[in-house]
Amino acid sequence: MSILEAIIARVKDEEGQNFNAFFALTFPLRQREKTIDILTSLNNQFFVIAEVKKKSPSKGILRENFDPVNLALAYEKAGASAISVVTEKHFFSGEKEYLTRIKSHTSLPVMRKDFLIHPYQVFESYNLGADFVLLIVACLSREELKAMIDAVEFLGLQAMVEVHTQEELEKALSLNPKIIGINNRDLLTFEVDVETSFRLKKLIPEGIHVISESGLDSPEQVRKLRDAGFSGVLVGEYFLKANDIARAMKELCCG
């Protein structure tokens, strides 16, 4: 069993009862302020999504003395465009409440990054405070992906639809996404190849915002992504391991 398969199996085991009981018309949505539409920012700036994550299956603990709120505030002060919050518990040491706590302390849009496979989790993400969510095509059939996107649109959120292969990209494009994330990491092997972003970007029509994710650790990479027409980047490990986050963000994204 691959790591991805193990994660999905764990999600189904823990959330199966919620999935089976879910009915959108009776789901209790909490009162919250209007969600932030990230599309305006994507149109006007190179979008830097900074990630709040304690560990990963491949690298272990990424940041000692991990404090999600202080980390998010440091990202905001350093000039990040949005915050990605990893909420998966068993493989990434995330917590759902991290997202709610961060949302209550920052003015930036917040993304829930997790292995979302059922509309229940999209509704849950809304209640947690997410402005947008990550939908990983590798986890979903086309029909499941459509159901997830329908839930996102019903709630007034946005989705970043993540792909790693041409086949996944074709599945995503069939549903007319507004934002595509290209993950340079193969979720089956956890190997990283930044060229994945450049290869798949050529196949994406104009008018869709494209974000490069994973393995970005040099200003040269980011400059090439800008020049290739990417709307932005999602960066985790490079920032998480930095002693000075503001300096790390300036060097990577403005160097």
Active site residue 97: no
CATH assignment of the domain containing 233:
3.20.20.70
Cα 171 from chain centroid (whole Å):
18
- Decide: 231 and 46 in contact? Cβ < 8 Å: yes
Q: Is the pLDDT of residue 60 over 90?
A: no
192: confidence class by pLDDT, cuts 50, 70, 90: very high
Q: Which domain holds residue 68?
A: 3-22+38-254
Active site residue 95: no
Active site residue 243: no
Mean pLDDT of 35-60: 92
Look at residue 33 and tell me if it is in a domain: no
* Cβ neighbours around 73 below 10 Å, total: 17
Active site residue 56: no
Active site residue 251: no
Active site residue 113: yes
Active site residue 77: no
Look at residue 147 and tell me if it is in a domain: yes
Look at residue 27 and tell me if it is in a domain: no
Per residue in 131-176, pLDDT tens? 999 999 999 999 999 999 999 999 999 999 999 999 999 999 999 9
- Taking CA atoms, 246 is separated from 67, 77, 193, 220, 234, in Å, by 17, 7, 26, 18, 16
Look at residue 29 and tell me if it is in a domain: no
Domain total for the chain?
Answer: 1
Look at residue 28 and tell me if it is in a domain: no
Residue tagged active-site, from 88, 124, 213, 237: 213
Question: Taking the complete model, does pTM exceed 0.85, yes or no?
Answer: yes
Residue tagged active-site, from 41, 53, 81, 237: 53
Residue tagged active-site, from 76, 124, 162, 237: 162
CA–CA separation, 243 and 235 (whole Å): 15
Look at residue 30 and tell me if it is in a domain: no
CA–CA separation, 168 and 181 (whole Å): 11
Residue tagged active-site, from 54, 96, 113, 171: 113
Residue tagged active-site, from 84, 184, 212, 214: 214
